[in-house]
Structure 1
């Protein structure tokens, strides 16, 4: 049975939760394999809106087993809060499974994230301040705390004390902050032991057995391609691999398990935080996209930077991830525009680039080369078939498909669950 990946093709906020929800009734496991609570998915079910930050969006689908696997960094306070909030709204959260090997975000990770970002001043990366980067840094430096450590108080204390021996020196002597007590950290982490006990397991084995039993496994990436630590707009990226390769290392399933790669891409482009953004708009067009698309971060509430569709970025995402299908979202936001520009290439110091420049400095100075397409004024939120869309909207979709490197298999025409035009079966 297939293992399917859903990732974002741009800088995040493309609507990956919507795509996961679209496949929800056809999958058995939904796996979050990277990132933490620094990104969010908004899923609308009928009159109910759910904002998820750490949990896989599959938790909203009855019968699906949601999994937080080893590649995720887990803020236990956030996990507890989300589970309680969903449980209070009648959602069954007892199915959640969490990897014993997943790393934990502690109080000192959050503190270091915030003070370091402030210290950088104008050189800020634009992190969410939630401790994601410092937790991953500890993981790579082999001084991290894992979920399994919480069940051995002696080991947990040793690791926390060892970590704070250095980190307190940095906090006190460099940032002029108070030292963090190891006892406070240990006591806090131990308080989640009872909550975690029924959900912690070897998720790699769980998923392997699921595949052996002909179950369908869906991988849900946190963040997106252009924020990938290796392939994104470094250093303005996240601290994990949000691309297809990360699904294997972040879950314990082999690379050949992936049979479908679905990349979600907006009909325009947005970004939160610092970093280059060639098609960014600073005029009324940007304000229009932000207002019509309600472009404010699910997790942070920050207004998103908005720009036109970037075809070279789409081709890059298709190549890096091995995309089999694109899901185009928020097409309805473009309704009412007389013309819709699309970036088809870049001009860098007088040289035309059909693909994204490998040099970060070139990309930072890239000027988009646009091709304009006629817009439409009709309300498309009621469309359910391709033929229901205005001709100009159909032409826009066809043009994007030709220049983006893979087929467009579904189109979002509104925020609600059923407001989707399906062109091809995502699992076929």
Structure 2
């Protein structure tokens, strides 16, 4: 029998899409969407967004970017509970309800440690529950600085379309202890740090502001060695510059409107404030009583009118002074053109309600300045407030509400006690 020569079958290899790795600063939202979009466009996918921090605008823009070329059947968002507390359950639920095309669910992850994941995935399910899709891991949080703003953080992104990785990802998400936005304010004793952080978020900090509007809008220059040698030159002072050791500054905006500040500001702090090293902690629901709406609106109207009236003339003066100082070699060239710097301050002022209230009332109002990772600072501040409240013979309304809320381990009790006082 003649021998038969067998031709071996060609070796079959499964085609794999090589992963991308990017280290980027701009266009992060578009890059993330493109990396996630390496999927079968004919299928419907659930979008999973896992991030320690959350920004509603950033999430909305990323979802819209993906909708342009991928079919989305639903969105599930996982964020750290303490980050969720900053926004509050009502805001998060309103965000979810604002989508009509598909269901959006926000899960607040409860853990003694920070939920610090940054994972984004599109996952489709077969009839037999097999999964496929794309996953991107990296350093970018679901925030403006992380994904949206130009010139934000440098971030790294790495993608994969490996089904086993997708299955592991889903399996681990299912093991997390999560809370809906409606349950954010319910705490067990094991969640003491989360409760303390949440109660601090119920207030805003207030302290006396000694600067004025003209000083805030002034333009400052760093002197060269030649400039420092001429700080005794009377001509600079005659030109309106305030001379210091290494810098000079000038106030260009003039504003002589003095609003009638509320006489009860001190009474509000006395009746509702708790003293801390940061200033008075004031229940957020009470802080609006520091400002009479009509008087504040009149102040803003006058301020905006003066900004518009003086704007062009101020730009001319700044440009003239800047060119003279540079030509004479008196100042170092700043990173930002001083005209742009002035306009940036104006834009920041007119778009920031807290800054406007500060200018109006002469009080600085600011939110809790600690990131949720600054656990020691948060606990120290909370304990200081407890000690201050407990040490007072005559506790004001906020002190009583604060202590009762902490004793009951209930944020709702704070609102109830404040209303009862």
| TM-score, structure 1 as length reference | 0.24
| TM-score, structure 2 as length reference | 0.24
